Amino acid sequence: MAWLSDTWRRLRGRRLVISVDTIDTTVPGDRWPPTAADERRLRDYDTHLRLFLGRHQEVFDPYRRPDEGPYVVTNVLGAISRLTAHRLFGEAPKARAKGGSGFGVPGSGLGRAERRTPNAEPQTAASQRLLDHLCQSNSWPQLCYEGALGGSYRGDTVLRVRYDAQRDAVVMEGVPPSCYFPHLDPGATDSLRAVSLAWVVTAGSGFGVRGSALGAAQPRTPNAEPLTSVALLREEYHEPGLIENRLWKLVAVPGESRYYRRRVELSALEETADLPETVETGLDVIPIVHVPNRRVAETGIWGQSDYADLISLQEALNRRRTQLGNILDKHADPLLAIDESFLDEQGRLPMDRIRAIPLVQDEPPPQYITWDGKLADARAEADELTHMILLVAGISPESFGFGSGSAPESGFAIRLRQMLTTSTIAGKRLQWEPGLRKLLSIATKMHVRHVSGLGSQVSGATSGRQPETRDMRPETAVRPLEPDEIGLEFGDGLPPDLSASIKDEVSLQGAGLASKEASLRRLFPDWSEAEIEAEVERLTQQDAQDQTG
């Protein structure tokens, strides 16, 4: 961080001056952003981020009638994003090497554990240790949760894998989708031939931490404010097996919010002067994974924000809550209507604060000016708008505590009352599962290709320790995994009901559909192999004693 702070200070202390040459604006691809669709996408990202953060007045203010009171925000949209992210990744998915212990059908609570052959066991165990090491060293739960949270309001999540040369480690991290610009094969709707990660660099913005020779700079979200003077565009151009570092000069089009770009040398900026122009990754894939949210054929490769069809309902709810607040404020301090006989010669009341006023005979008494604000109807409409938002978003009201009884409910009852939310999360999981399997596959390939300290063996990874000894047998050497060789076990984000699960397992064993070992794996997924084997042996001995006794 000290190096980063020094860099920012140096950039703030000088101006980036590059001669502005005439640019041929007719050259295809020189416009930035590349297409009008990209401009709309970036604007939507910014709008939805403001909604997620609760800064609704910055989005809805031009569309609401000015009022005297404060603008009341009921941020149901942000609550929906947090809920869906928790239900999707509140329990981080467990990565399993297929053939490994305890792995069954993904997403199934009754998946039968795969049988393992003695020859395949060492290799499978080595692959499992590698997956555990990659997940633990990259804060896997946080990576998944933050990706789902951003994907909810943006509609897209972008993750990448890079090699950190300083740490000699593989890094899996999120990338702002506003920096993501894919290049599709001609005539294909979802086939990528290359990917550009591009972001604007201005004086004082810095590049981020550069600990990697494979895509050295960490992308930052482009500044939403208009660019001033000369600005540069930093680009990482990714193809299978190759990364190209590029630097562009941006020149504003007079009178428009568009810019044209012209290629300049990396030495034009201090932070890119020592970067290589090209880097060979040694991988057969692009180390970037895009996970769309609610993708349909008409949207191409891009997903849809969870807010896409909720914005008008959220604005109406804010307006109704604001009006309720205004009515209550006015009723708390209403105007007082008085007769002119209460005024003095100067037309003023004879007291600063009216506590009591003497009544004049045959004159009408003063009274407060109030009206029936129909608060009950307004509150009912606000509640209806809230439920409508949840219904359109595919969220059961019970997920937010609406309609739940005061008495404790069983886990089965809770799940039954939240079927709509469960179905919505299942749809999101269909997009996330292949994306995460692809991400982990790329990480294993990057690890085997580049990491020297753990490149051929991984020992003690499950406990987070650095390897002390290395088993050099070929069957224990780690190897890269393909996506279909990796399985993910998802949780449902709901509190477990152990008593109900035990009853189910007892019924399965009574019907001869499950063994004690398989039941223990499902009931206690965190147990080690030794703990499960010891418990199975104890139960077997107990059964034998019961039969002889």
**Is 90 exceeded by the pLDDT of residue 419?**
no
The predicted-structure confidence for 60-115, as pLDDT tens digits, reads as follows: 876 555 556 788 899 999 999 999 999 999 888 999 998 644 443 333 333 334 44
The predicted-structure confidence for 308-320, as pLDDT tens digits, reads as follows: 999 999 999 998 8
**Rounded-to-integer distance, Cα 291 and Cα 432, Å:** 6
Using DSSP's 3-state secondary structure scheme, residue 544 falls into: helix
**Rounded-to-integer distance, Cα 25 and Cα 17, Å:** 22
Q: What b/e sequence results for 488-505 when a residue is b if at least 16 CB atoms lie within 10 Å of its CB, and e otherwise?
A: bbbbbbbeebeeeeeebb
Residue 239: predicted pLDDT:
94
What are the residues facing 95 on neighbouring strands? 488
Q: Residue 535: which H helix or E strand, with range?
A: helix 529-548
Burial class (CB in 10 A: 0-12, 13-18, 19+), 464: exposed
- Angle between the N-to-C axes of helices 140-154 and 419-450, in degrees from 0 to 180, rounded to the nearest 10: 120
**Rounded-to-integer distance, Cα 113 and Cα 183, Å:** 41
**Rounded-to-integer distance, Cα 373 and Cα 370, Å:** 9
Q: What is the DSSP string of 275-306?
A: S-SEEE---SS-SEEEEESS--GGGTT----T
Q: What's the chain's length in residues?
A: 549
**Is 60 exceeded by the pLDDT of residue 296?**
yes
Q: Which two tokens stand for residue 467?
A: 């390897």
Q: Which residues contact 269 (CB under 8 A, 6 or more apart)?
A: 16, 201, 232, 247
Q: How many CA atoms lie within 13 A of 219 on its CB side?
A: 27
Q: How many CA atoms lie within 13 A of 81 on its CB side?
A: 27
**Is 50 exceeded by the pLDDT of residue 120?**
no
pLDDT band at residue 521 under the 50/70/90 scheme: confident
**Rounded-to-integer distance, Cα 58 and Cα 260, Å:** 29
pLDDT band at residue 469 under the 50/70/90 scheme: very low
468 in Cβ contact with 459 (< 8 Å): yes
**Rounded-to-integer distance, Cα 404 and Cα 424, Å:** 20
pLDDT band at residue 201 under the 50/70/90 scheme: confident
SS (H, E, C) 237-262: EEECCEEEEEEEEEEECCCCCCEEEE
pLDDT band at residue 190 under the 50/70/90 scheme: low
Average confidence (pLDDT) over 268-272: 85
304 Cα distance to chain centroid:
13
* pTM for this predicted structure: 0.74
Q: Which two tokens stand for residue 392?
A: 């359109």
